[in-house]
Structures are given as C-alpha cells and as structure tokens.
Amino acid sequence: MMKRGGRDSDRNSSEEGTAEKSKKLRTTNEHSQTCDWGNLLQDIILQVFKYLPLLDRAHASQVCRNWNQVDSSKESAEAACDILSQLVNCSLKTLGLFSTARPSFMDLPKSHFISALTVVFVNSKSLSSLKIDDTPVDDPSLKVLVANNSDTLKLLKMSSCPHVSPAGILCVADQCHGLRELALNYHLLSDELLLALSSEKHVRLEHLRIDVVSENPGQTHFHTIQKSSWDAFIRHSPKVNLVMYFFLYEEEFDPFFRYEIPATHLYFGRSVSKDVLGRVGMTCPRLVELVVCANGLRPLDEELIRIAERCKNLSAIGLGECEVSCSAFVEFVKMCGGRLSQLSIMEEVLIPDQKYSLEQIHWEVSKHLGRVWFPDMMPTW
C-alpha cells in the first residue's frame, strides 16, 4: 500500500510539475507575442543601433522592414558622412552612396555632406566609379572632383541631385575625357553637354541614362535638345546605350519624340498616350527595349506595327495596362521574329478577335518566336 501510494504521489507530483511547466510556457509565449521586437518604437531601436559596429548595424537592418527604415534614417546618413570625413589617408577607386531604403542624405545640412564628400575627392586621386544619387552634391564639389580625379573617372551616376546645374555637369564632361558611363536627370542635359561628350578628346560613351521626371525641384517645363546635338553625339559614340526613363503626365510629353533621337531603351513609368507611342515608332530607329506601364483603353495595334516596321533592333518589349488585338500582336511578333528575346505581355492586354482567341494565340506566337511562349498571368492570391 505504501509503494502504491508512493507511486500515486510521484505521479501526482509529475503531473503538477508538467502543468506548472505548461503554464510557464504559455506565459512566456504570451509575453513574447506582446513584446514583438519588430514593433519596438523607432527611437528605442535607434538608441540600440548606436551601440552597434557598422557591420552589425548593416546586418540588423536586414532583419525586418521596420529595422531597415530606422537604419536608413537621417542618423544613418550622418554616420555615413562621419565615415567619409575620416578617409583622409585613404585613396578610393569606387564610392557608392546607396541603401535598400535610400538614406536621407537630402535631410542633412548641405555643408556637412559637402565637406565630408570633399575629403574623399581631395584624397582619392584615382576615383574611377562614383554613385551619388539623391544627394545634395553641388557644382563647387564637382569642381573639386574634377580637379583631383579628371584622369581616372569613368562612371558617374548622379540622378536626383537638385543642387547641381547644367554648368556643373558640363564641367565634368569638359575635363573628364575618360568618362564612359553617365546617369543624370533630364534637367541637367543640354546641347553643350552632348557636344562636350562628342569632342575628339573624349572617349566614346558606352552608357547614358536620363531620368525624365516631372517632380524635379523647380522644374516648370521641359526644354528641347537640338537634333544636331544628338547627331553629333551618336556619330562620336555609335554604339552607346541611351536609356531614358519617363515619369511624366500626358501633357508634359510635347517636347519629346518630335524628331529622330538615338534612344535604345525606353521605359514609361506612367500612362503614355497612343500619340506618343506612335511618335516613338517614327523617331527611335535604334530602339532595343520598350516597356510601357500603362496606356489606357485604346488599342495600340497601329503603334506596335509601326514600331516593328521601323525599329529593326527591337529585342525586348513589356506591356502592362494596355490593349492590343490578338491579330495585331501576332503580326507584330511575326515581323520581329526570333530576335524578340524578351516578350512580357499580361494576358489582360490581349483582346480576342475573329482570327485568334486567347487559347490559340500562344501557339501562333510560339511558332514565330521559335520557342514556347505564354502571356503573363495576373497572380490570383
């Protein structure tokens, strides 16, 4: 009886222990759910981040979106400037100021950023690649860059730099004759800049990216580049990739595609009219890639056929919120043939007609492409 009672007592103690552990586990889980580290106030996270080394801070910023936004705040931009200011005995060849969530360099005092960047420009005598998008860099700082790195600079990316003037970027083109890649906003593009890039002293440009954005600070209208300037530019650099990103409203397109330009890649991030796309087919014979985010509800049959007829190098096209009849699309693919290495068309773009249904079109397109092709499907989740 004593043994049986002992076993019962042991079992009761074990059950009580298990229940106690389960209670503690539930309490811990509840506490964990209420204390979500990802939902901590940004001020608290920032205070923690200040004690982390730079590499650990970079790793922490990848944990979740909230932490990434904190690490990409004004404080992170200030930390980056502090690091630049300390590079007095370091000669860099490549410098890129960027982040997955775009650091707030524009929120810093302009003088603080410029003084930090100038340290690098003065001490780095062989800088070849510079990426300073979305920063308050200005004309005087570019002159310092040119004075110390004109013989070595090959790549410069500086879109969304509102304190730089056309004269500032012209100084770079005039002195940095080895520049091969350049990215900038359209408000910095000028006839003088294209002619400077086309001078006999200048090497042939390989890549020119132009962002045409209506929200540029102080932008009231878009100027026109002379056809003669484009002609001189393409004669000097016949193999250049001219990439243009357009983020304009319909009424702002008037100065563009009025005469032939050497664009090779066109991306329309907003709705673009049938008229503009029709002008693209008439004025961009070097076109290699075309991406249209949206157009509206007017079929682009004639415009696509015109592009296929005149743009003999077209090898990639993407259409978003547009409409094209199935017959016109098949004719477009037939005219372009197997050179269409990238063909991204949403199924909703294609309008069935008397000749082709949606079920038939992929067979016909695949035949002319020489490979299996299907339209892209909108995710259902």
The helix/strand/coil state of 376 is strand
What pLDDT score does 295 carry? 85
Strand ranges across the sheet with 241-247: 94-96, 129-131, 155-157, 181-185, 207-213, 241-247, 265-271, 289-294, 316-321, 342-345
Which tokens in the block code for residue 307? Answer: 């592009």
What pLDDT score does 291 carry? 97
**Which backbone phi and psi does 206 adopt, to 5 degrees?**
-100, -30
What pLDDT, in 10s, does the model give residues 73-121?
A: 677 788 888 889 988 888 899 999 876 556 688 888 999 999 999 999 9
Which residues does residue 344 pair with via DSSP β-bridges, in sequence order? 318
Which DSSP string corresponds to 297-351?
Answer: SS--HHHHHHHHHH-TT--EEEEEE--EEHHHHHHHHHHHGGG--EEEEBGGGEE
**Which backbone phi and psi does 379 adopt, to 5 degrees?**
-60, 145
Q: Can you say whether the dihedral through the CA atoms of 284, 290, 295, 300 is positive or negative?
A: positive
Q: In the block, which residue shows the tokens 């300390």?
A: 86
What pLDDT score does 377 carry? 78
What pLDDT score does 100 carry? 57
| Amino acid sitting at position 345 | I
pTM: 0.81
Ranges of residues in the chain whose predicted pLDDT is under 50: 1-5, 7, 32
